[in-house]
Structure 1
């Protein structure tokens, strides 16, 4: 996939394929918290990174072998390093395996610590840094990138994505506006609709994005998937469950491996009280922490025998992350503690810590639900203020907020 194609496409928040610049930033960054654990960075170029479980002749495996061999012969070849990093980054989103982030970083080692790397290396470095929640360093690189090349749509889209994660909506809107003269209509509308759909204008955002999709003609399956998943979210924020499911099913019918879509649809099914469908959807995705969590939630709801094994697997993964000092998936760990272990106090502490870095709707939901479980409205104060300030419309989130506020009376 070319770097221009990456700019126009991607998750997850990931999350993969050939799309528009804005889809890349918004989809992958929106799932970065959940998807990424601390990446393994190989110590030298001779390290065997991964024996991929793929079919003989699989084009992805073939391309990875070729790129690794090329980079081993010439470690200073920036073009090869960037292509390899992009492919690994896509795989991190597609497969839910955070090791790929470390592999991508290893390929960029010659440029990783440079104060003034080439522009494309700087942008790729920013993408990888934001995936491990080094948002400050990522934004520093992106600020330099857009000053150096104001027409770099990939850099602008990732700025918008990070600003959305941090709930800096004015800055995100400025980033979307910067895309207008340099991005496709669907890319620009996608950026603005993602913002508007989060900040109290879900109906208008849904109409605008639907219309842009209808006018877009022949686009890649990955870009169509990103749009359909966003439309599903906007439908839910309007309380239209039927329309949301139609969008989700249309996205699934594209047969694109995308764990962002799978996680979003699994959450939808769980909220609708349909855990058996979650098990059917995710039974083969146990390598992904975020999907294993949803699988375990569904199994527990049905008292399925596999629930115990999967809960213990998750416990081991979270414990290992804690030993590494890894705080990258605290929102998911909070959900695990609250709903699978019944450890309310720990869940609330994790949700509050997570809120310091990430302030997206799902982060607010976790903080509000943990505060409600502890009967502690003060603990949910930040999320309640975000809900009012943003104008976010999700009915479920609003109901939880009202229950929490009622405890004050």
Structure 2
């Protein structure tokens, strides 16, 4: 499999922002800045759309356009592009066994929408006939990691050794290892891999540096974490996942003014708007209420649509901006049934502590013991909870 096709799916598990109705304060208020027609990505998508309109059954054009939309959704944090990607694949979308290229793209879109079991089914179908499909193994590793199935995630990463660039394989393995009792070893192995492969694609290096920043932060090495996040941001315009990870790092270190400056123009992305509003509240800004109301309307609209992919963000919203720990805990528990990343565990623990729910606190403790997750912040929260018990 060509390497350039392998890397496009990296980090698609990050939270995507759903656009929702908002009533502006005045007619002059800027709600959204649309991409320029001179933007190369917009020009490329326009050309492909024109070609596809002439021949909707052209698989090559359809998959190229879908990949472009998926990558744009990752960069901008705009889920509408996932809908555009699905529309490009419409002739094959509902087929039980569409072409392999469509199966992988469909799995990528499904996992981005938290339809993990359906995504795994598509990936397994691909791997039944093509055991050397690196993109399928990488996406499978991503899904298994989100589900907290680290044994299966590690096995999927290991299949990449002869199918992908070494840095892709090492980053995949380090991600799994850092969540299952091997954080220090994973950090060192990934650091060495980055040093050994300075010419690897920038997108992969951003992924690796971002992961190093997250691992270092969980281990309590703030200096290293900051350096890694800044290195990632220097390689290209940061996407929503990187901005969110770095913003969380800054918020945890009581640096809200930097978060506000970083995210001021990112309000189209719900996950980033949430962090912006939390930063504003920490500074006692007069803009807090306005941004909180925008988020409230967006979450209400998502609820009316039956959209549940933003439960992690909704729980943080309820806890940190609405001050409602019981509602936050209920949302966090529903979210935990779907996905089990460190951020999901953290909001579950924070809301459980705030709601004084010993059962939920014990649930977090048992998960950390089971997986051997190393996280300084979570450990400190658990210690405080024990002291208050």
TM superposition score normalised by structure 1? 0.89
For residue 154 of structure 1, the aligned residue among 135, 149, 158 is: 135
Q: CA separation of 1:147/1:405 partners in 2, compared to 1, >3 Å: closer, same or farther?
A: farther
Higher alpha-carbon deviation: 124-133 or 314-323: 124-133
Query: Within 2, Cα distance between the matches of 1:361 and 1:151?
Result: 30
For residues 59-100 of structure 1, give each alpha carbon's deviation from its aligned partner in whole angstroms, at most 9, with x where no partner exists. 111101001111111110111111111111111111111111
Query: Within 1, Cα distance between the matches of 2:3 and 2:48?
Result: 18
Query: Within 2, Cα distance between the matches of 1:38 and 1:166?
Result: 26
Number of aligned residue pairs? 378
Higher alpha-carbon deviation: 336-345 or 200-209: 200-209
Query: Within 1, Cα distance between the matches of 2:8 and 2:187?
Result: 19
In the TM superposition, residue 289 of structure 1 has moved relative to its aligned partner by: 0.1
For residues 152-181 of structure 1, give each alpha carbon's deviation from its aligned partner in whole angstroms, at most 9, with x where no partner exists. 000001110010001001111111121122
TM alignment of 1:301-380, pairs within 5 A: 301-380=282-361
Query: Within 2, Cα distance between the matches of 1:255 and 1:157?
Result: 23
1:88 aligns with 2:72: no
Query: Within 2, Cα distance between the matches of 1:381 and 1:76?
Result: 53
Structure 1: where are the runs of 5+ without partners? 11-23, 40-50
Match in the other structure for 1:164: 145
In the TM superposition, residue 224 of structure 1 has moved relative to its aligned partner by: 1.5
Query: Within 2, Cα distance between the matches of 1:81 and 1:150?
Result: 24
For residue 280 of structure 1, the aligned residue among 243, 258, 261 is: 261
Q: CA separation of 1:86/1:92 partners in 2, compared to 1, >3 Å: closer, same or farther?
A: same
For residue 214 of structure 1, the aligned residue among 161, 173, 195 is: 195
Say if 2:18 and 2:269, in contact at 8 Å, map to a contact too: no
Q: CA separation of 1:93/1:3 partners in 2, compared to 1, >3 Å: closer, same or farther?
A: farther
Higher alpha-carbon deviation: 376-385 or 118-127: 376-385
For residues 41-74 of structure 1, give each alpha carbon's deviation from its aligned partner in whole angstroms, at most 9, with x where no partner exists. xxxxxxxxxx982334221111010011111111
For residues 313-359 of structure 1, give each alpha carbon's deviation from its aligned partner in whole angstroms, at most 9, with x where no partner exists. 00000000000111111010000000000111110000000000001
Query: Within 1, Cα distance between the matches of 2:203 and 2:209?
Result: 10
In the TM superposition, residue 380 of structure 1 has moved relative to its aligned partner by: 3.0
Q: CA RMSD in A?
A: 1.7
In the TM superposition, residue 221 of structure 1 has moved relative to its aligned partner by: 2.2
In the TM superposition, residue 214 of structure 1 has moved relative to its aligned partner by: 1.1
Structure 2 SS opposite 1:187: helix
TM alignment of 1:230-241, pairs within 5 A: 230-241=211-222
Match in the other structure for 2:7: 8
Query: Within 2, Cα distance between the matches of 1:6 and 1:93?
Result: 15
Query: Within 1, Cα distance between the matches of 2:48 and 2:3?
Result: 18
Say if 2:168 and 2:204, in contact at 8 Å, map to a contact too: no
Structure 2: where are the runs of 5+ without partners? 21-31
Q: CA separation of 1:197/1:9 partners in 2, compared to 1, >3 Å: closer, same or farther?
A: farther
Match in the other structure for 2:60: 79
Query: Within 2, Cα distance between the matches of 1:291 and 1:8?
Result: 24
1:28 aligns with 2:28: no
Higher alpha-carbon deviation: 213-222 or 120-129: 213-222
In the TM superposition, residue 404 of structure 1 has moved relative to its aligned partner by: 2.9
Say if 2:7 and 2:203, in contact at 8 Å, map to a contact too: no
In the TM superposition, residue 379 of structure 1 has moved relative to its aligned partner by: 2.1
Query: Within 2, Cα distance between the matches of 1:118 and 1:155?
Result: 13
Say if 2:12 and 2:108, in contact at 8 Å, map to a contact too: no
In the TM superposition, residue 37 of structure 1 has moved relative to its aligned partner by: 4.2
Query: Within 2, Cα distance between the matches of 1:300 and 1:168?
Result: 36
In the TM superposition, residue 8 of structure 1 has moved relative to its aligned partner by: 2.7
Match in the other structure for 2:234: 253
Structure 2 SS opposite 1:179: coil
Say if 1:9 and 1:223, in contact at 8 Å, map to a contact too: no
